[in-house]
Amino acid sequence: MQLSDVDRKILRWFRGLGSEPIGETESNSRDIRYAASKAAEKLSIAPDVALDRLKKLQAEGLIEIVNRPNYTAICWTRITDDGRVVLRAADQTAKSDSERPIIFISCSQAPQDAELGKAIAQIVTDETPAVGYFAQNETTFEAVTTRILNVLGRCQGFVGVMHYRGEVTPLEGPAFQRASVWVEQEIAIAAYREQILKEPIPVQLYIQNGIRLEGLRDKILLNAEPFVSNEHVIEHFRSIVKERFGSTGPAAPSAFQATSPLRNKQRQVTLERATINPDFVLGIDVEPLQYRTTAVTIDSTVQARIATAVRQTERGEAGKTLHERLEPAARATSVLFQGETPPAQMGQRPPQPLEQIEVHADGSFCIRFNQNDENPLDRTFTIFGTAYHLIRSIYPDFGLAKKAGATLDLYLHAGRTQYQPVLVGGRWSAEIDAAQPFEVAFAELSLLFLRDANINWSRDQVERRLRDFADRNLP
């Protein structure tokens, strides 16, 4: 099943609730109307739309109505395991598409023409490094300001199709056919970017025979392809799409090397045993599998992007804190994030902050979190989740593939935790591919330290535990 944005919103809401019942109804009719009303209220969805989508999700087996234990007349709605799988796949596709360049499709949304806009967008998505964006049904003021204008301002290519939209009778001269005002405005914005802001973007325009051009439009549409039918547009666009838009993706890095371009890397955060609590180490070192030949310059823009990525891991979807608020401090070749520092003991050196993250200009980073009262396994998964999100968020800016080598250091203080089965010390290393789902990316590293802790979970069990953690906590 292909999920719509509303479907994903509903399933994410149910997933975030975990095992908490929602949509209870004191009836054996197993009706989901109450759940639909709650979803409509919580997610700002029209009640009839919420009910329609819930019924379809139920028919597909993605949500279910179950009896409340010990109360045969009370039922509630919840997401199924199949629903979690389908939602993860849809989110993964959405994230993948969000990392591709955008080609804006400006085309009439009239019923007879909207299929053409969708077809052009699909051709772009299927045959180029970019993804096609066709703003069908974006009619509210909020959608115009936050979606259409935003995409127009950052798209890396533009396709415009001008259809007949009525006859205009001027004060002087004969009547003539005009095109869509919306399409003309979008073409004007693309022209402004190219001619005034000097942001060259590839453009392909089509104009239906008989539409009159005048004034600025005559100059903008100088090389437009005339057409009679929508079929001609599709045929012509397929013939030129790769030549026109095939190179719109991010430029490939010019060179890679096996060693860091930072010859004397100054590390503020390490996974060495702390002097205050020598029995404790919990952290992860991440190094790219291949480095760029030149390091990234840590300017204010790069620092802001890294800080945004770190900030996004501070609180998970269900409201659970992954780690405390970390304040950034830029250095020459890194950005250091630190949390609260515990008070120093009399006669001892000042302790390290409870939580630290340092991101270097070569794409490597180190995460060190202090031991706390959480289950150490969840604490370790928190580090994995933070590392996973950082790789996915900042590596594209560094020109790096989402593959890295991760080294986990784990040594817990036996006197400070009740979770005896995971009291283990050691260092384990594995390659991770953050282009994969979280549970796949970190399964091997998890298996390594769990086996040494005499926790003999199967790979399926490990992936299920990681998946549950990701569903509750990852942004």
**Same-domain pairing of 148 and 66:** no
- CA 140 to CA 154: how far, in whole Å? 20
Q: In the chain, how many domains are there?
A: 3
Q: Tell which of 42, 67, 90 closes a domain.
A: 90
* Strand pairing category for 355-360 and 71-79: unpaired
Tokens of residue 385, six digits: 């989740």
- Where do the DSSP E strands lie in 34-179? 63-68, 71-79, 102-106, 131-134, 157-162, 164-168, 176-179
Tokens of residue 355, six digits: 């939580």
- CA 386 to CA 363: how far, in whole Å? 15
CATH number at residue 139: 3.40.50
- Tell me 431's DSSP state: E
- CA 24 to CA 38: how far, in whole Å? 10
In a domain, 268, yes or no: yes
- Which burial class, exposed, middle or buried, applies to 136 when counting CB atoms under 10 A from its CB (0-12, 13-18, 19+)? middle
Per-residue pLDDT of the chain (475 residues; tens, 9 = 90+): 668 778 888 887 777 554 444 544 444 445 678 778 888 887 888 888 888 888 889 888 888 877 655 555 555 677 777 787 787 777 666 655 556 788 999 998 887 788 899 899 989 988 888 888 887 655 455 555 567 887 888 888 899 998 888 787 778 778 777 778 888 888 888 888 777 776 777 889 999 888 876 655 555 555 688 999 999 999 999 999 988 887 544 444 345 677 888 877 888 887 776 554 555 678 899 988 888 888 888 888 888 889 988 888 886 545 556 778 888 887 888 999 998 877 766 655 566 788 899 999 999 999 988 766 667 778 888 899 999 999 988 888 788 888 888 888 776 554 445 554 454 567 778 888 888 899 999 998 888 888 777 778 888 999 999 998 888 887 7
**Same-domain pairing of 229 and 202:** yes
**Same-domain pairing of 70 and 134:** no
In a domain, 57, yes or no: yes
- CA 114 to CA 108: how far, in whole Å? 6
Q: Tell which of 245, 267, 283 closes a domain.
A: 245
**Same-domain pairing of 425 and 316:** yes
**Same-domain pairing of 422 and 296:** yes
**Same-domain pairing of 125 and 194:** yes
- CA 406 to CA 306: how far, in whole Å? 19
**Same-domain pairing of 372 and 463:** yes
In a domain, 96, yes or no: no
CB 458 within 8 A of CB 447: no
In a domain, 431, yes or no: yes
**Same-domain pairing of 321 and 241:** no
Q: Tell which of 191, 220, 245 closes a domain.
A: 245
**Structural domain containing residue 60:** 5-90
**Same-domain pairing of 67 and 126:** no
CATH number at residue 77: 1.10.10.10
**Same-domain pairing of 73 and 125:** no
Tell me which H or E stretch contains 176.
strand 176-179
In a domain, 250, yes or no: no
In a domain, 95, yes or no: no
**Same-domain pairing of 291 and 384:** yes
